[in-house]
């Protein structure tokens, strides 16, 4: 069954970071994605990785004679272009949005950067940690008595970057169906991460968020919202914020200490946390799972990447699948009538000749590109 983006043609200029993830999501949803690869795989290249699934690949050097013309022909027939280079790189390659939109007015030109296409920091290098630092998000993460804790780069690159690039591309595609006109999608990780922090900025406005780390109920200060070590050295998480869920946790754990009745008395939180730490250390993680998992106590075991695929809920939901011996997360979200489906992992340049032939290039033209060093 075809996915909801069946018939949508995407050209992906292979890069590192969130752009390959965005392209993977579009491919999972049924888009025909052609990845433009370098002739040799580079650092964190998509070659052979699960981030490269569901594409076709053409390996071509855009700096060599004839390569730009080939890429422009590809872009002429595309609905979407995705690139994740620094501002100005695509323009220097002769593939900038002004030229591409002139040739293909309905093109959605998706640009993924850290700082954005403009602004004082736009031309400078950075990574996820730098972008979320500027948004205020990183400062709120970690323990009160030490430097902020770097989270996995899901916060900036994937959450603030890839997901907002996908959102922008889909919104622009929808609008282009009505107007007949494409546009540029400027997706910046710092922009998306800042928007994801909207609730915390609202709490700040209300005077309900303290800038001191680990002093708010969602940042590890509240005893009823956090992680605890068990007797076996493994961990569990609890989050019964609502009073009825909190009371259920106390009931199931047979806690009758009257100090726990003052759930929102912040002055008592350090004492209550200490008591919960001692309680959770008294049993193994599996024992706590048998007691609490599946209840409304807002409880879960803290699983590592090896354990998560084996959890019964994840297996029942099919959160992981195996392809050619590689275990990878399944597509999301789930659509009832046109579900997403992952394609095979593609190797760098494995479809080069096929794609060139579909563009109408004959053997002589392909031989010229090879002699010029544009293709392998």
Active site residues: 127, 157
Residue 80's nearest CA partner among 40, 132, 32 is 32
Give me the sign of the Cα torsion angle 137, 143, 148, 149. Answer: negative
Element (H, E) at 302: strand 299-302
Residues 51 and 18: beta-carbon distance below 8 Å: no
Q: How many angstroms separate the CA atoms of 63 and 133, rounded?
A: 35
Q: How many angstroms separate the CA atoms of 185 and 188, rounded?
A: 9
Q: How many angstroms separate the CA atoms of 125 and 89, rounded?
A: 13
Q: How many angstroms separate the CA atoms of 316 and 241, rounded?
A: 27
Phi, psi of 347 (to 5 degrees): -90, 150
Alpha-carbon distances of 237 from 99, 147, 218, 330, 376, rounded to whole Å: 52, 23, 13, 24, 51
Residue 32's nearest CA partner among 5, 59, 53, 58 is 5
∠ CA 321-323-328 to the nearest 5 degrees?
45
Distance of CA 324 to the CA centre of its chain: 23
Distance of CA 97 to the CA centre of its chain: 25
Q: How many angstroms separate the CA atoms of 249 and 239, rounded?
A: 10
């Amino acid at each position: 069954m075809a996915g909801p983006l069946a018939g949508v043609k995407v050209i992906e200029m292979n890069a590192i970071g969130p752009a390959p993830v965005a392209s993977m999501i579009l491919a999972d949803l049924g888009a025909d994605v052609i990845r433009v690869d370098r002739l040799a795989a580079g650092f964190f290249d998509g070659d052979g990785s699960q981030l490269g699934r569901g594409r076709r690949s053409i390996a071509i050097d855009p700096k060599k004679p004839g390569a730009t013309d080939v890429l422009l022909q590809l872009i002429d027939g595309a609905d979407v272009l995705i690139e994740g280079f620094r501002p100005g790189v695509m323009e220097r390659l002769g593939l900038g949005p002004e030229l591409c939109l002139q040739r293909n007015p309905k093109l959605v030109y998706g640009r993924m950067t850290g700082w954005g296409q403009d602004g004082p920091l736009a031309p400078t290098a950075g990574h996820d940690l730098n972008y979320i630092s500027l948004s205020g998000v990183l400062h709120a993460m970690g323990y009160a008595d030490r430097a902020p804790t770097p989270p996995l780069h899901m916060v900036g690159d994937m959450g603030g970057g890839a997901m907002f690039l996908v959102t922008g591309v889909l919104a622009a595609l929808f609008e282009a169906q009505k107007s007949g006109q494409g546009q540029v999608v400027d997706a910046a990780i710092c922009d998306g991460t800042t928007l994801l922090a909207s609730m915390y900025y609202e709490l700040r406005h209300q005077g309900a968020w303290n800038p001191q780390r680990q002093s708010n109920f969602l940042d590890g200060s509240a005893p009823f919202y956090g992680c605890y070590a068990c007797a076996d050295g493994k961990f569990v998480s609890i989050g019964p914020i609502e009073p009825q869920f909190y009371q259920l946790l106390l009931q199931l754990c047979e806690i009758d200490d009257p100090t726990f009745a003052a759930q929102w008395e912040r002055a008592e939180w350090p004492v209550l946390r200490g008591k919960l730490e001692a309680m959770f250390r008294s049993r193994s993680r599996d024992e706590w799972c048998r007691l609490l998992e599946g209840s409304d106590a807002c409880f879960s075991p803290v699983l590592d990447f090896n354990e998560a695929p084996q959890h019964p809920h994840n297996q029942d939901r099919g959160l992981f699948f195996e392809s050619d011996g590689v275990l990878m997360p399944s597509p999301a979200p789930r659509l009832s009538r046109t579900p997403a489906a992952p394609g095979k992992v593609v190797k760098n340049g494995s479809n080069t000749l096929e794609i060139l032939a579909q563009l109408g290039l004959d053997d002589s033209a392909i031989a010229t590109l090879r002699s010029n060093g544009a293709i392998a």
